[in-house]
Amino acid sequence: MFRGKVLLVDDFSGMNVLISGYLTASGFEVKSMRSPGEITDDMLTQAHVVLMDTETAGDGLRDIIMRVNSAGVPLIAMTSEHDGPGRLTALELGASDVVSRPLDMAELTARIRAAQSRTMLAVKLVERPPVTYGELTADITHYRVTLDGATVEMPPKEVGLLYLFMSSPGRVFTRAELSRQLGSSGSERGVNMQVSRLKKRIGLYADNIVTVRGVGYKFVG
């Protein structure tokens, strides 16, 4: 069963092979690399979780976390066993979660799935049907949006956001609700930015996502 796409960044090739093998056997599609500089925007658009070794990231950890978060993808940081300050730093910089070596692979898998759940991207045992309005379709099971028959590239978090709106037309979602769903740490500004980016991707249907002043947003159709 397909569980999602993971970008794995670790400059220790042996660990890369070990983690990739386990996650692949568990149903994940894994793209491994030895440097965060290898991550392209296209990879982030398709990824569901980024798994990053903090030592590999080095002094660029802050910038990497910001870049991944701006793409709407949860990042799980990996630290050494006794690196307590490193764990706190990663969380303070915006990592969704932190795991310590030596890794418990079953726990790592559970944390990846939890990160997906927090961003509305968990792969369910029962498929959720796509929702369609006019020529716009959101398919949360396969993380795909189509507009006029063509695939619209967008981060998984935005696919989840659009699916949430379209599956409950007319319902007003408060910014607090959307913040919890998006993992935006309670930031209304973060919610507004996510919605704004989403609207830019869906052409004329942007007008169907309406701001409810002082409350939040709803999808009208």
Determine the pLDDT at residue 125. 38
- Taken in order of first residue, the domains within the chain and their CATH numbers are 4-118 (3.40.50.2300), 133-219 (1.10.10.10)
The average pLDDT across 91-114 equals 89
C-alpha–C-alpha distance, residues 75 and 58, integer Å: 15
Determine the pLDDT at residue 183. 60
The average pLDDT across 151-165 equals 88
Q: What is the pLDDT of residues 13-40, one digit of tens each?
A: 788 899 999 999 999 999 999 999 999 9
Determine the pLDDT at residue 150. 95
Determine the pLDDT at residue 124. 42
Asked if pLDDT for residue 120 goes beyond 60, the answer is: no
The average pLDDT across 69-73 equals 78
Asked if pLDDT for residue 82 goes beyond 80, the answer is: no
Share of the chain above pLDDT 70, in %: 89
Residues 139-161 as b or e (16 or more Cβ within 10 Å = b): bbeebbbebeeeebebbbbbbbb
Determine the pLDDT at residue 146. 96
Asked if pLDDT for residue 122 goes beyond 60, the answer is: no
Q: What global pTM score does this model have? A: 0.60
Sequence-distant (6+) residues with CB within 8 A of 33 are 7, 8, 9, 39
What value, to the nearest 5°, has the Cα angle with vertex 155 and ends 51 and 181?
Answer: 80
Structure tokens at 137: 């379709």
**Among the ranges given (65-79, 109-123, 192-206), the one the predictor scored with the smallest mean pLDDT:** 109-123
The average pLDDT across 93-111 equals 90
Determine the pLDDT at residue 48. 86
